[in-house]
Amino acid sequence: MTTAHEIQDELKASGRRLRAAIPGVYAGYAALHQAAMGDGALPAGVKELIALAIAVTRECDGCTAAHARAAAQQGVTAAEVAEAMGVAILMNGGPGTVWGPRAYAAFEEFAAGADQAAPGKDRAGEVSPPGS
């Protein structure tokens, strides 16, 4: 199985090339991401759990890696991720039993401290919307 870090590394070069080709789109997406994912009535960690469950629903490995990483950075616990994956399984049936464990494993990988970049920043410190 490909690790969450490998997925992000695989997408990094092509994501940067596309970002260079359409910088306005990426800037708008980054602004939307920052506006939607910050603390508000819902804490940022809860929003990352929601995003992670949606990533499972959409079967998006890049989204799963990005939101598992951000959830770990927000201090979300393994128990919280597990319960969110339970909801994803409930809502998605069989595919949830495949993608839920993938999301949980990605969270465990990032929670172990393998990547300490700030939320919304890639390893080089650039703003990086999920999946890029």
What pLDDT, on the 0 to 100 scale, is given for residue 115?
54
Does any domain span residue 9? yes
The parent domain of residue 69 ranges over 4-113
Does any domain span residue 122? no
Does any domain span residue 76? yes
Does any domain span residue 102? yes
Percent helix / strand / coil, the chain, rounded to 5 = 75, 0, 25
Does any domain span residue 131? no
Q: Is 127 helix (H, G, I), strand (E, B) or coil?
A: strand
Mean pLDDT of 81-96: 95
What pLDDT, on the 0 to 100 scale, is given for residue 78?
98
Which pTM was predicted? 0.79
CATH number at residue 42: 1.20.1290.10
Does any domain span residue 132? no
Structurally, how many domains does the chain consist of?
Answer: 1
